[in-house]
Structure 1
Amino acid sequence: MIKIEYRQTGPYVDQGQENREGVDLAVVSRVDLRWYYFLSDLTFTIDEADLSPPWSWTPVFDFLWSMEGALEHLERSEHTTIGFTENAELIDFVPEGEKVRVSCTYAMGETVCERADLKNAWFAFREAVLTQLSVEHPRLAVNPVLAELSL
């Protein structure tokens, strides 16, 4: 079983980051939305393997777009990694037929899952994030860059 969840930890307002006051989320750029808004604690587990980043303030949209890119590479049977904006840690994805071997630099061990299960978990996570944040921030729901999260 694959579980990807988040809990908002922001706003982390050091140096003006994540300060949404007065910002029209309908027109925030992909870059800003990806790296400066909706900072979160992420949970990412595959069966018994906990691949959750052990730090806070991970931008949830960066993780969504990074996972989308990783899944595109895996569809082409290409090895890929996801990096994080706030450090040099990585999640490593190695395709093995219809399965994927997953490990990370910040935790011990590795695990294997079905590529289709990983994709389905990403879809469910994407829908949960978009639904919750669109309800909380209606202007965000009309931002055209969110349509890019469509795999």
Structure 2
Amino acid sequence: MIKIEYRRTGPYTDQGQESRAGVDLAVVSRADLRWYYFLSDLAFTIGEAELTPPWSWTPVFDFLWSMKGALGHLERGEQTTIGFTENAELISFVPEGEKVRVSCTYATAEAVCECVDLKNAWLVLREAVLTQLSVEYPRLAANPALAELRL
């Protein structure tokens, strides 16, 4: 089982730019959404392998867009990595037929899972993020950059 979740917890939740007065989230750029908004704690497990980053302040949209890109590479049978905006750590994805080997630089855990299961876990995370944040921030739902995540 693959579980990818995010939590907007911790003392930094009011430090993201979404808390700035006068910000219109309907027009914030894709780049700004990726790197400066909606700081979160991520949880990422594949079976018994714990791949959760040991830090906070991960911009959830950057993770979503990075995973979307990684999934595209995997669908083409290409090895890929994703990085984080707040440090130099990486998650590596190595395709092995219909499966993918996942490891990271910040933990010794390694896991193998079905590519389709990884994509489905990402889809669940994407929908949870977009639904929750659009309810909490109605103007965010109108941002055209978010349509890119749904393609």
Smaller-chain TM-score bracket: over 0.9
Aligned Cα root-mean-square deviation (Å): 1.1
Q: Residues 18 and 133 from structure 1, CA distance in 2 versus in 1: closer, same or farther, beyond 3 angstroms?
A: closer
* Residue matched to 1:4: 4
TM score, norm. by length of structure 1: 0.95
Percent identity of equivalent pairs:
80
Q: For residues 123 and 37 of structure 1, what CA distance do their matches in structure 2 show? A: 20
Matches within 5 A, 1:138-149: 138-149=138-149
TM norm structure 2:
0.95
2:122 aligned counterpart, secondary structure: helix
Instruction: Tell me what 2:39 maps to.
Output: 39
Runs of 4+ in 1 over 2 A off after TM superposition: 17-21
Please list the CA deviations of residues 79-137 of structure 1 after superposition, one character each: whole Å capped at 9, or x if unmatched.
Answer: 00000000000000000000000000000121100000000000010000000000000
For the residue of structure 2 that corresponds to 1:33, the secondary structure is helix
CA distance, structure 2, for counterparts of residue 141 and residue 103 of structure 1: 33
Partners of 2:80 and 2:94 in 1: CA distance:
7
Q: Which residue of 2 aligns with 1:86?
A: 86
C-alpha contact 1:12 1:57 (8 A) present in aligned 2:
no
User: Matches of 1:103 and 1:7 in 2, distance apart?
Assistant: 22
Map residues 1-151 of structure 1 onto 2, 5 A cutoff: 1-9=1-9, 10-12=13-15, 17=17, 19-151=19-151
Query: What residue identity is the alignment partner of 1:132?
Result: Q
- Name the SS for the 1:149 alignment partner: helix
> Is the 8 Å Cα contact of residues 41 and 55 (structure 1) preserved in structure 2?
yes
Gaps of 5+ in 2: none
Q: Is the 8 A contact 1:2 1:118 kept in 2?
A: yes
Q: Give the gaps of 5 or more residues in structure 1.
A: none
CA distance in structure 2 between the partners assigned to 1:54 and 1:88 by the alignment: 13
Q: Is the 8 A contact 1:35 1:85 kept in 2?
A: yes
SS in 1 for 2:150: coil
